[in-house]
Structure 1
Amino acid sequence: MPEGHIIHRLAAENHRAFGGRPVRAGSPQGRFADGAKLIDGRELVAAEATGKHLFLGFGEDAWVHVHLGLYGGFTFGDLGDGPAPEPVGLVRLRLENDEHYADLRGPNTCALITDAEKAAVAARLGPDPLRADADPDAAWRRITGSRTTIAALLMDQKVLAGVGNVYRAEVLFRHGIDPQLPGRALRRAAWDAIWADLVALMREGVTAGRIDTVRPEHTPEAMNRPPRVDDHGGEVYVYRRAGRPCLVCGTDVRTEEHASRNLFWCPFCQPASAWT
């Protein structure tokens, strides 16, 4: 499932392609035909993200709410002298103008909602490190009162919006925190450090379009090692590196299923005593 930085990139791309202009909308697959008909010909007045939720605003209490889920994705294209190509596959929503088009395939959610419904979705989410209006204290209040592990809490979208498995594993490693640590045992200084790091890392992810978490001294060039080859891209410390030596201490990275997701950590760099 795409993490929050990708959804913020999609908001920016939709705004670049369609913002401030009327948009032709259709649903080649047919599952969003009624919604597409209602926004067809309207101007895209807003495109924003909250966590893993994308909202495209077409004025008059009309927002297209998109949650990509595991299999959804957007494809953007620039139009030359001819029309947009015929849709390929199960395209839930096509947006186009005279210069650009975009196809949405396979989302968990593609629904036309009101301002009140959009606000209700946002109210269910924790603070998003990529939003200027985010309140990290709201997440801290949930964390400090919980017996749940910090690893599970960071993935709970009601606690923190937009963080997925990669950022979760990497930020805990970067701050030497045992992923099994209960939330209520985490010190406030540790939470402040986690939040600040997520803000910086996720902003870099928006710019680069991939997740890079290693510090300069641990890049392939600095360590004279091969670059990481993975469909997620980016240089990381522990994510999907189970059984391989930690880039910092050489201990084998571990993995286990944790709250239905694969968890990765270094037992030496992330001891149980850290930050308690």
Structure 2
Amino acid sequence: MPEGHTLHRLAAAYRQVFGGESVRVSSPQGPFAQAALRLDGRPLTSTEAHGKHLFLGFGGTADPASTDWVHIHLGLYGKVRFGEGPAPEPVGQIRLRISTADDTAHADLRGPTTCALISDPEKQEVHRRLGPDPLRDDSLPEQAWQRVSRSGTTVAALLMDQKVLSGVGNIYRAEVLFRQGIDPRLPGRALTREQWDAVWKDLTLLMADGVRDGWIDTVRPEHTPQAMGRPAREDAHGGEVYVYRRAGLPCLVCATPVSAGTHAGRNLFWCPACQPATPIGSLQYRP
């Protein structure tokens, strides 16, 4: 499933290609056809992302202050493809197609979990259900900290809970915990405020890099292939990482084999030496 930086990139791309223009909207696959008809010919006035959710805002309603929103969640299989020139004959499951009025560009959305037309109040309800997003200027890390610091759930599970923190997926989860030397199986309430602040700050930087570059790259300069004289990583996700999908390989920092397991239904990766079990009070935390 795409992580949050991908949705912010898509919001920027829709805004750059279609922002402010009256556009043609259709649903070749059919399920979104009635909503597409309502939006066809109206201007795309706003785009934004919150975590793994994308919102496309259309103006041109009778009420100038009102906006209709297309709410998109890509899920596991959703993809957006932008193209230049007239849109070709639709092939496959295209849920939403947006084209410029002069046929200079188009974008096709395929296979999303969610593609729905919603009102302003409904959009606000989606935001209300989501935790703070490290890529949004209006996010408050304190909200997430209050939930994390009171929870007996593991830090690994909390970082992936979109009600706690939005936009973080398995890659960012594994990598930020490694970079901060935190055992992913540590209970949230055992995390210090200093550790949480470091995690949040690191996520804002790493995810902003992801928006800029289009891939997830988390290694520090001294651990790049060039600096270490090692082969570059070959993976469909791109970018250089410390532990994600590196089970059994030597840690780039200490050479200890990277560990892997399954936690809350998702793969978990960590270095047992760089992310040791943490003493809690007089007891040693044992996962």
Pair 1:68-2:70 in alignment = no
1:176 and 1:274 in contact (8 A); partners too? no
Pair 1:215-2:220 in alignment = yes
1:9-158 aligned within 5 A: 9-59=9-59, 60-79=66-85, 83-97=86-100, 98=102, 99-158=104-163
User: Separation in 2 of the partners of 1:69 and 1:266?
Assistant: 29
Percent identity between the two aligned chains = 67
- Amino acid of the structure 1 residue aligned with 2:219: V
Change (3 A) 1:181 1:94: same
1:128 and 1:160 in contact (8 A); partners too? yes
TM-score, scaled relative to structure 1: 0.97
User: Separation in 2 of the partners of 1:28 and 1:271?
Assistant: 52
- The offset of 1:46, in angstroms, is 0.2
- The offset of 1:272, in angstroms, is 1.0
TM-score, scaled relative to structure 2: 0.94
- The offset of 1:273, in angstroms, is 2.0
Change (3 A) 1:274 1:232: farther
User: Separation in 2 of the partners of 1:138 and 1:56?
Assistant: 26
Pair 1:175-2:174 in alignment = no
Partner of 2:284: none
- The offset of 1:88, in angstroms, is 2.0
Per-residue Cα deviation, 1:189-227 (whole angstroms, up to 9, x for no partner) = 000000000000000000000000000000000000000
1:187 and 1:275 in contact (8 A); partners too? no
User: Separation in 2 of the partners of 1:58 and 1:74?
Assistant: 18
Partner of 1:166: 171
Q: Secondary structure at the match of 1:20?
A: coil
User: Separation in 2 of the partners of 1:48 and 1:202?
Assistant: 16
Structure 2, unmatched stretches of 5+, are 60-65, 282-287
Aligned length: 273
Per-residue Cα deviation, 1:124-159 (whole angstroms, up to 9, x for no partner) = 000000000000000000000000000000000000
User: Separation in 2 of the partners of 1:263 and 1:177?
Assistant: 13
User: Separation in 2 of the partners of 1:84 and 1:123?
Assistant: 36
- Amino acid of the structure 2 residue aligned with 1:180: R
Q: Secondary structure at the match of 1:249?
A: coil
Q: Secondary structure at the match of 1:93?
A: strand
User: Separation in 2 of the partners of 1:274 and 1:242?
Assistant: 25
Pair 1:204-2:201 in alignment = no
